[in-house]
Amino acid sequence: MGERDSHEGPSKGDAKFDIQKVADGVHVAVAAPAYKVNCNTAIIESDDGVVIVDTHSKPSAARLIVQELRGLTAKPVRYVVNTHFHWDHWHGNEVYPAAYPNAEIITNQITREAMATKGLKRIQDHIRQGPGEIAQIKANLATAGSGERRAQLADDLKHAEAYHAEVKALKPALPTMAFDRTMKLYRRDREIHLLYLGRAHTEGDVFVYLPKEKVVITGDAVIGWTPFMGDGYPADWATTLDRLAELDFTHMIMGHGEVAGRDWLRTFRGYVHDMVEAVRAEVMRGATLEEAQRRVPEALAPTYEKPFSAYGVYRPWRAGLLLNIERTYAMVS
């Protein structure tokens, strides 16, 4: 992105966004690193309103996007799309119907059910775990001495306390509309396709495709660093990405990381496929999980360690790979 296509967006607490133009009327708010991770948000303006894709880990972050929107357009948000049920993509949902009373929230039926069961339970988990997290930071702070480490812990404490207050006050807004495999929004100046292409990062990942602009929004089915597979389906993931690759697009707005192109999709898909096949081969030879976690990284490192280390601050490649191997081993063995 050239400088003219990007500007520093609003920030508050640990939520900070870089607003980038991807196509005419299509922007992305790229989330900066945060104590409580925020996802990217896509902003799609049409003749009669705005579509928002994903709403971050907390309402305060979503309010920053609403603030930015009011500087971009006077049009209302008509639809909010959630790509999957993970907390950092939908905990800000409540902000949009409050700011735009006619806004509808959309996902597919699989993801709505996951939000209503696993997602709501995880909110309670966050509330229950918050005091322990805060107490641990305070204990670390008490022994930190002075300098950069102490300053970082003090900052973490402030953000942990702020997040705990927000999550206790959440008014979870579940989707008001759900589809099965495909839903299309036809505006006078734009088509917006909502697609279910199969299991990947979760059981119900939603892709948002703009055929005229050749832009696809992937949620966390494709991200800029080593994927989290704790709720994923590694053996299905590459096939789902093959279906994604059949679409005619030039730009990917990912769930996390900078806007990317088809080259990164090939690299990301290759990593998922090769990791699964390497783990499958270890299982077939009777290897233990520990043996697989020792051998698979060495097999994959020459191809994937460097490209997946560009965002090492988020999830170091080898640490993320070990977790991916564990999930895959459990599912294929």
Q: Are residues 64 and 199 in the same domain?
A: yes
3-class state of residue 191 by DSSP: strand
CA–CA dist 110, 213 (Å, integer): 28
Q: Residue for token digits 């707005």?
A: 253
How much is the pLDDT for 257?
A: 95
Listed as ranges, residues in the chain with pLDDT below 50 are 1-4
Rounded to the nearest 5°, which phi and psi values hold at 147? 100, -160
C-beta of residue 64 within 8 angstroms of C-beta of residue 38: no
Which of 215, 243, 260 lies at the terminal end of a domain, its last residue?
Answer: 260
How much is the pLDDT for 84?
A: 98
Q: Are residues 199 and 63 in the same domain?
A: yes
Which of 168, 189, 213 lies at the terminal end of a domain, its last residue?
Answer: 168
How much is the pLDDT for 11?
A: 73
Q: Are residues 245 and 180 in the same domain?
A: yes
How much is the pLDDT for 118?
A: 97
pLDDT digits (tens, 9 = 90+) for 67-95: 999 999 999 999 999 999 999 999 999 99
CA–CA dist 215, 191 (Å, integer): 11
How much is the pLDDT for 4?
A: 36
Burial of 168 (0-12, 13-18, 19+ CB in 10 A): exposed
C-beta of residue 276 within 8 angstroms of C-beta of residue 316: no
Q: Are residues 96 and 17 in the same domain?
A: yes
pTM of the model: 0.94
How much is the pLDDT for 310?
A: 81
Domain membership of residue 150 as a residue range: 115-168
CA angle (36 as vertex; 137, 95 as ends), nearest 5:
130
Dig out the tokens for 226 from the structure: 């080593």
Q: Are residues 74 and 106 in the same domain?
A: yes
